[in-house]
């Protein structure tokens, strides 16, 4: 594939990227999970977490939604611990860093073609 074809394909997907990086969502859960995994089996965390939430085994402790314009929705459960808050803050920092790297990557590509 030529550079222009690669760029065209990238631009077609830019809407998905912009949507994805325009909002940062971090959820921190607490509780206990016990499950068996067969050798070579990959973990399906979405399914495991969905089942655990539905059965009440894990509960939401903290939630943060930050939109690109700076609006934010925060939730902190009454029983959230310092450990939950520290893990949540670390996940937020990682998410912000990841989005900054994606934005820089896109900026660098745009600068190269202009």
Q: Whose structure tokens read 């690109």?
A: 68
3-state secondary structure of 28: strand
3-state secondary structure of 2: coil
The string of pLDDT tens digits covering residues 23-58 is 889 999 898 887 777 888 888 888 888 888 788 788
Tell me what pLDDT residue 46 has: 84
0.75 cut: is pTM over it? Answer: no
> 83-87, 91-95, 106-110: lowest mean pLDDT where?
106-110
**72: burial class by Cβ within 10 Å (0-12, 13-18, 19+)?**
exposed
Tell me what pLDDT residue 1 has: 66
DSSP per residue, 43-109? P-HHHHHHHHHHHTSEEEEEEEEEETTS-EEEEE-TT--HHHHHHHHHHHHHHHHHHHHHHHHHHHH
Q: For residue 108, name the pLDDT band (cuts at 50, 70, 90).
A: confident
């Amino acid at each position: 594939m030529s550079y222009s074809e690669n760029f065209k394909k990238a631009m077609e997907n830019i809407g998905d990227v912009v949507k994805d990086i325009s909002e940062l969502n971090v959820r921190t859960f607490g509780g206990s999970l016990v499950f068996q995994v067969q050798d070579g089996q990959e973990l399906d965390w979405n399914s495991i977490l969905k089942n655990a939430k539905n059965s009440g085994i894990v509960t939401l402790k903290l939630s943060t939604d930050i939109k690109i314009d700076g609006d934010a929705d925060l939730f902190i459960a009454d029983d959230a611990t310092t450990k939950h808050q520290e893990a949540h803050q670390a996940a937020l920092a990682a998410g912000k860093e990841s989005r900054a790297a994606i934005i820089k990557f896109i900026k660098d590509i745009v600068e190269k073609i202009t």
